[in-house]
Amino acid sequence: MLNNKFLFGGNLIFDPVKQQLSKYDFGVNYQPANNAYIGFKHESTSKDRVQWGKFFLYFFHNASAFQTVGTEFNFDW
């Protein structure tokens, strides 16, 4: 069943010279209420090899077209 309140995404960067995956990130975003969002993101930070990197957990609310209120928590592996 599809649900329009979830958004999944990812990004892969492949280095053709070294023939290896050099960076990746993926995340999910959920909208529990109108203009309110909760999200989780993982981002690799190593240029030499793929390994654990940074984890982000964030909450934000679009109060108006010009104001957004929120917070972000970051864990750097």
Decide if 57 contacts 39 (C-beta within 8 A): yes
Mean pLDDT of 2-29: 83
Mean pLDDT of 35-43: 89
Give residues with Cβ within 8 angstroms of 7, minimum separation 6.
28, 29, 30
Decide if 52 contacts 46 (C-beta within 8 A): no
The structure's pTM equals 0.65
Q: Hey, where are the domains in the chain?
A: 6-76
Mean pLDDT of 28-51: 81
Per residue in 58-75, pLDDT tens? 998 888 878 888 888 888
Q: How far is Cα 25 from Cα 34, in angstroms, rounded to an integer?
A: 26
